[in-house]
Amino acid sequence: MEITYLGHASFRIKGKTAVVVTDPFDPVMLGMKFPHVDADIVTVSHNHADHNMANLVAAPVGGSKKVITGPGEYEIKGVSVLGFPTFHDDKNGELRGKNTVYVIYLDGYALCHLGDLGHTLSEETINQIGDVDILFVPVGGFFTLDVEKAIEVVHSIEPKVIIPMHFKVAGLSADLASKLASV
């Protein structure tokens, strides 16, 4: 498996049978280029332009792409995707709406992409998510989890690998890096 960071909360995950792209973003809104990529599966955690630009991801040559935009169970090209309902804020979505956490089963690994999660997870959701090999966790604060809540979520899920996302790349502070390094 190969994981490529595309920017913001977007990744290209290439497995043996399929390619998945998570949360493609509007390059104008974020001021960073979104690369030309293709994918069999595109997951969209919520309907904001910094996460929902699936039209920027091409279908593979001779194939098609499936865009997943919410909770449910999906099976595409040997890849299982489970979507769990969560919120983009800690007020049950009153401020920023709904969010979907995805668990992607690819090449024998469980990858969990938290999208724009804005709250800690309930025990029920943690149990539904299950064992996670790789966790993509937002750490930027304000619109998502802050560092302390991100650490709490990481400890509750107990993944083998943590990949931070959704932070201002140019403004990544030493304080944030040192806090994450201790997890």
Domains in the chain: ranges and CATH: 2-181 (3.60.15.10)
13-27, 81-95, 135-149, 160-174 — which one is most confidently predicted on average? 13-27
The residue behind tokens 């619109």 is 143
Q: What value does the mean pLDDT take over residues 58-79?
A: 95
3-state helix, strand, coil in the chain (%, to 5): 20, 35, 45
The CA distance from 141 to 144, in Å, is 5
C-alpha gyration radius of the chain? 15
Has residue 80 got a pLDDT over 60?
Answer: yes
The CA distance from 1 to 110, in Å, is 12
Give the list of residues 6+ apart from residue 182 with CB closer than 8 angstroms, or none: none
Q: Cα angle vertex 100, ends 98, 104, to 5°?
A: 175
| pLDDT, position 119 | 79
| pLDDT, position 107 | 98
Q: Is residue 117 within 8 Å of 101, Cβ to Cβ? A: yes
Residue-wise pLDDT tens digits, 12-31: 999 999 999 999 988 887 77
| pLDDT, position 146 | 75
Q: What value does the mean pLDDT take over residues 127-135?
A: 98
Where is average pLDDT lowest: 101-105, 136-140, 177-181? 177-181
Has residue 170 got a pLDDT over 80?
Answer: no
Hey, CA dihedral for 106, 131, 123, 24, is it positive or negative?
negative
| pLDDT, position 147 | 81
**What are the angstrom distances between the C-alpha of 136 and each of 48, 60, 111, 146, 159?**
18, 24, 8, 14, 10
The CA distance from 43 to 114, in Å, is 11
Hey, CA dihedral for 123, 127, 131, 137, is it positive or negative?
negative
**What are the angstrom distances between the C-alpha of 135 and each of 64, 108, 111, 132, 159?**
27, 15, 6, 7, 6
Residue-wise pLDDT tens digits, 99-115: 999 999 999 999 999 99
